[in-house]
A and B are shown apart, each in its own frame.
Chain A
Amino acid sequence: MVRALKITIITCLSQHGIKRQHVSDAAKSAKIQRDKKKIAHYRNLTDACLDLRDSHTYTQDAYDKTSKLLEENPEFNAIWNYRRDILESWQSNNKDIVTHLLEELNLSMGLLKRFPKCYWIWSHRVWVLFKLESLNKPQWSTELMIVAKMLEYDLRNYHGWSYRRFIVDNIEKAETSATTTANEDEQILALVKINSKEFEYTTSKINNISNFSAWHNRSQLIPKIYKLFQLLKDKSLFPQLQPIFLSPYSLLQHELDLVKTGMYVDADDSSVWLYLSWLLTDKFFVESFESTQNYKDVLLQQLNIVEELNELEKDDHPKGWDNRWCLKAMILIRTLLDDSPENDDLTKNWLKRLIDIDPLRKNKYMDQLNGKLVIVSI
């Protein structure tokens, strides 16, 4: 009877990218036959769990049933909720739930391997970790190793990177609160240690392979580590970082070298260009120059590098076309150099070339050409 409520989502959100198949009627009937048993079992289990929940049953048996159901369908968020309520109830009845919480970590780990993009599993794990911390059994350091493994499977996993930053945040909090009896210097040392490891981690992820997630994380880490490094008493403990984090200028030079390598590896990798625009425009770097002339010198030097690369790209292109990202970067840099870019013939010329080689975005370039906007970003 309730026909209108059947709308189903066979391949949604977490299951992108499944090849289309036109199944025959025979195949469809076969599937229906196969699914009969599965559906009966699944519905029984669902009803059993929801009945137990509605009768406020917080027993081991109920808990085990939810494990079974979540193994079959980790998207069932109401069951995750029920499971958390069971644990809460045990806790308020003075039952030791640490073992169970560790079990939660195992269950969710197994599920994340199969469903790495399922929001509910990630957020359940976060809930469990906070619970463990409140019981003085923090797991943050182990968790960092686990998320490193998760990111090995998919280096751009959005959840994975967010989770990594979340874990680092909490390691920091734990470090600074655990050492409250120790002095501030030791706390700073601990924070530099954690963050420099993260910095090295991003370095290892941007070598030879496009990974904007790592570049992005780097943009978060640099100002943070720099600030900590300033406060650090004994900088010689970090011989590799010391010359890099000497000043925003030394950092800029170090990062510009990395970017140069990146753009020569693949001039079409937009990640590198976005990062370059950050380096050349963010106030962390720009405001640290001793004089405008120093800033202009760096810009001119970068303009030369990009123009050179563009010439190489043109040689490689069958029609002798410019590289789109090189042109965009050249326009950005000249705009940063020039007080009145709208009158600059060279910039106009580059914009006209972009209109030809990148027609998808021609209206944006037209707007730029007509002075409707000056984009100080790539």
Chain B
Amino acid sequence: MALVKEKHIQFIKSLNDDVTEQMIEYWLSEHLRLNGIYWGLTAVLLLQEPSTLDQQEVIKFVLKCWDLKQGGFAPFPRHDAHMLSTLSGIQILANYGAWDVLNEKKQDLVKFIKGLQLPNGSFQGDRFGEVDTRFSYNAVSSLAILGELTKDVTEPALEFVLRCQNFDGGFGMVPGAESHAAQVFTCIGFLAITDNLHHIDVDKIGSWLSDRQVESGGLNGRPEKLPDVCYSWWVLSSLAMIGKAHWIDFDKLEQYILSCQDTENGGISDRPDNECDVFHTCFGLTGLSLMNNEKYSMLSIDPIYCMPKEVTKKFDKWKQSTT
């Protein structure tokens, strides 16, 4: 099956048409809107059709999501700032190179993110105490993109992340929790961003990750679970970060992702013949880009940040000492 590139662009475009707003689902998913825009933007950037989304409108919207009280990005205007939506907001602005719109907000963001770190090094998603290794990744990815990463944050954070590793080499949400491929992505991503990959046995985790590929070619998130297109990203990018991407079968994964396309209306679903959404469309495309971006005339994706490499190569990452 071929990649129906035009259809996917149409699909992303259709998410913005007048009909969408008349569906109850649009209103029920406000809490994921900024993330959704990041997913849609990543998809069209990779497909080299950035004009599918109106840059000025998108930036205007990101700024409307600013939570003045907390100093971070909410997923939707009037909602509350959270670690998840804050990273999406920063990623969108970084993709557009729109740093000038942040102004003094940049220091608020740094304060917001650093303020969510707990004494044991972990991060909470907002002021209410939910802890998850996803937020450790959100924090260091956000700070790295802003060029504000510092050791006083990453060292205790590292200690916590390493405590979340299990006997199978994988990582869970918190210490003691079962290994899960999406959490593995956040933890390996954390280690890659903070230059700490040498702390783990990459052969062991690589082995566990490669076992996620099932006969259909798709990847699952845990032993004995069904495959799902979004794991094409969580697993494949994790393997790429530790230099073991060749431990799974690219041809079969490619075929699996392509088989999940809606060739009529565009979009990619979690499994063949399921309903498509922007989340799986994004991660299906990022997977294809990571395996072979040239074949599909896509931009090359950075496995660490899940953004085009031409964007991420400009990141300063560590805060330059001002002395």
Contact = CB atoms under 8 A, between A and B. Distances in A.
A9 interface: yes
A76 B30 contact: yes
Interface residues of B, number: 87
Interface stretch (B77-85, B100-108, B290-298): B77-85
Contacts of A363: 246-247
Given A7-B36, A278-B167, A361 B177 contact: no
B321 to A, nearest CB: 37
Interface in B1-51: 12, 15-17, 19-33, 35-37, 39-40
* A contact face: mostly helix, strand, loop, or mixed: helix
B151 to A, nearest CB: 29
Contacts of B130: 119, 123, 126
B22 A36 contact: yes
A10 B29 contact: yes
A2 interface: yes
Contact of B274 (A20, A32, A72, A274): A20
A359 B251 CA distance: 11
A373 B176 CA distance: 28
A6 B16 contact: yes
Contact of A165 (B32, B79, B168, B176): B176
Interface stretch (B136-144, B262-270, B303-311): B262-270
A97 B244 CA distance: 54
10 contacts: A6-B17, A12-B36, A35-B24, A75-B31, A78-B80, A156-B225, A162-B177, A360-B249, A361-B248, A375-B207
* B contact face: mostly helix, strand, loop, or mixed: loop
Interface in B231-249: 244, 246-249
Given A4-B53, A278-B167, 20 more contacts: A3-B57, A6-B16, A6-B21, A9-B278, A11-B269, A12-B36, A16-B274, A20-B275, A22-B265, A77-B80, A77-B82, A84-B128, A158-B222, A161-B178, A162-B178, A216-B168, A274-B208, A361-B211, A363-B246, A377-B168
Interface in A69-127: 72-73, 75-78, 80-81, 84, 119, 123, 126-127
Residue among A38, A216, A378 with the most chain B CB within 10 A? Answer: A216
Nearest to B177: A162
A161 B130 CA distance: 16
Contacts of A274: 168, 208, 223
Q: Report, nearest first, the 7 A-B pairs whose CB atoms are least far apart.
A: A4-B57, A123-B130, A5-B61, A364-B247, A78-B79, A18-B275, A7-B36
A12 B223 contact: no
Interface string B190-218: 00000000000001101110110101010
A7 B57 contact: no
B311 to A, nearest CB: 19
Contacts of A219: 166-167
B46 to A, nearest CB: 16
Interface in A239-282: 269-271, 274, 277-278, 282
Contact of B224 (A11, A119, A212, A278): A212
Interface string A29-50: 0011001101100110010001
Contacts of A161: 177-178
A252 to B, nearest CB: 14
A375 B126 CA distance: 40
Nearest to A269: B224
A173 interface: no
Nearest to A10: B25
A243 to B, nearest CB: 25
B313 interface: no
B25 to A, nearest CB: 5
B249 A10 contact: no
A213 interface: yes
A360 B213 contact: yes
Interface of A: 2-13, 16-22, 28, 31-32, 35-36, 38-39, 42-43, 46, 50, 72-73, 75-78, 80-81, 84, 119, 123, 126-127, 130, 156, 158, 161-162, 165, 210, 212-213, 216-217, 219-220, 269-271, 274, 277-278, 282, 359-364, 367, 373-378
Interface string B125-161: 1101110000000000000000000000000000000
A176 to B, nearest CB: 18
Given A78-B80, A156-B222, A5 B57 contact: yes
A172 to B, nearest CB: 13
Contacts of A277: 168
B170 to A, nearest CB: 10
A360 B248 contact: yes
B207 A364 contact: yes
A28 B27 contact: no
A4 B249 CA distance: 37
A268 to B, nearest CB: 9
Given A158-B180, A361-B248, A4 B58 contact: yes
A378 B79 contact: no
Interface string B162-189: 0000111100111011111000000000
Contact of B80 (A10, A81, A119, A213): A81
Contacts of B252: 360
Contacts of B168: 216, 274, 277-278, 377
B178 A212 contact: yes
Contact of B176 (A156, A210, A220): A220
A8 B275 contact: no
Nearest to B271: A17
A5 B33 contact: yes
A2 B58 CA distance: 8
A333 B39 CA distance: 44
A35 B22 contact: yes
